[in-house]
């Protein structure tokens, strides 16, 4: 991850917005977008009560997860040019099988980094849904990029910013697959060649983003199958969002 001046990937809405790589200088602001959008409005955050004001530690846990994830150097954001403000972000993670004796990234963070029961439950959900489909075995690959969390400030929704971030995450990953753009990512990951982008679309809105950017649905998981603190997920989540989709964009 660069210190500043993130790579420009594209301009949107006649130059009003820019898609750039996340840098150290704008990481805190990108994490604020997570706090102000994803932690409050995302389906599984609501199901696990991360959205409640009293569960501040849970939001700190997710903030730390995304801070660590951003160090890979493959996360993207949207800046509003007129204000120089970060208004949308995609926290992306290079995923691969860990060395023998080590836990996968999500499980390691769940056990060592998540301090709150709410964040641990969210991590458990992600881990379980991911494990239902072994994408590496299915597609004979050893590395992929996971579009982990996608967030847009409520004031800037319905502008297609999430769709653009998904599109450029695909473009970034394609470059890495071809051995290009390696100078912008963690030096320990420069030997990796991700062969796909995956995601868990947890709302009908993100599922529309997936369709618009040609992700393939691998599995659909109803929220009625999961519970936290005595209630099924679907009892807390809006009926607009009935299930989670595990999706892939394979090159």
The model's pTM: 0.97
Fold of the 8-250 domain: Aminopeptidase (3.40.630)
CB crowding 1-12: b at 16 or more within 10 Å, else e: bbeeebbebeeb
Q: For the chain, what are the domain ranges?
A: 8-250
Q: In this predicted model, what pLDDT tens digit does every residue of 134-153 receive, in sequence order?
A: 999 999 999 999 999 999 99
Name the β-bridge partners of 233: none
Residue 13, both tokens: 């809405």
The pLDDT value given to residue 16: 98
Q: Which DSSP string corresponds to the chain?
A: --SSSPPEEEEETTTTEEEEE--GGGHHHHHHHIIIIIHHH-HHHHHTTTTSTT-HHHHHHHHHHHHHHHTTS--EEEEETTTTEEEEEEEEEEEEPPPTT---HHHHHHHHT--SHHHHHHHHHHHHHHHHS-HHHHHT-SEEEEEEEEEE-GGGTTSSHHHHHHHHHHHHHHHHHTT-SGGGS-GGGTT----EEEEEE-SHHHHHHHHHTTPEEEEEEEGGG-EETTEEHHHHS-TT--EEEEEEEE-
CA-to-CA distance for 193 and 180, rounded, in angstroms? 10
pLDDT (tens place) for every residue of the chain, 251 residues total: 889 989 999 999 999 999 999 999 999 999 999 999 999 999 999 999 999 999 999 999 999 999 999 999 999 999 999 999 999 999 999 999 998 999 999 999 999 999 999 999 999 999 999 999 999 999 999 999 999 999 999 999 999 999 999 999 999 999 999 999 999 899 999 999 999 999 999 999 999 999 999 999 999 999 999 999 999 999 999 999 999 999 999 99
The pLDDT value given to residue 1: 87
Tokens 């100078």, located at residue = 183
Is residue 132 classed exposed, middle or buried when 0-12, 13-18 and 19+ CB atoms within 10 A define those classes?
Answer: exposed
């Amino acid at each position: 991850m660069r210190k500043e001046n993130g790579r420009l990937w594209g301009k949107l809405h006649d130059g009003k917005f820019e898609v750039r790589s996340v840098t150290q200088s704008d990481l805190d602001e990108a994490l604020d977008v997570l706090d102000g959008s994803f932690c409050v409005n995302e389906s599984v955050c609501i199901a696990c009560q991360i959205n409640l004001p009293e569960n501040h530690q849970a939001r700190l846990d997710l903030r730390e997860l995304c801070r660590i994830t951003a160090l890979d150097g493959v996360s993207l954001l949207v800046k509003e040019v007129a204000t120089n403000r970060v208004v949308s972000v995609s926290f992306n993670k290079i995923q691969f099988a860990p060395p023998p004796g080590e836990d996968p990234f999500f499980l390691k963070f769940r056990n060592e980094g998540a301090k709150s029961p709410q964040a641990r439950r969210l991590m458990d959900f992600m881990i379980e849904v991911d494990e239902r489909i072994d994408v590496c075995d299915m597609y004979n690959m050893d590395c992929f990029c996971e579009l982990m969390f996608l967030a847009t400030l409520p004031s800037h929704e319905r502008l297609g910013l999430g769709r653009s971030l998904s599109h450029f995450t695909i473009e970034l990953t394609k470059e890495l697959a071809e051995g290009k753009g390696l100078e912008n990512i963690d030096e320990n990951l420069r030997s990796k060649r991700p062969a796909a982008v995956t995601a868990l679309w947890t709302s009908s809105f993100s599922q529309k983003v997936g369709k618009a950017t040609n992700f393939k649905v691998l599995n659909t998981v109803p929220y009625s199958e999961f519970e936290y603190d005595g209630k099924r997920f679907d009892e807390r989540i809006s009926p607009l969002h009935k299930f989670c989709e595990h999706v892939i964009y394979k090159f």
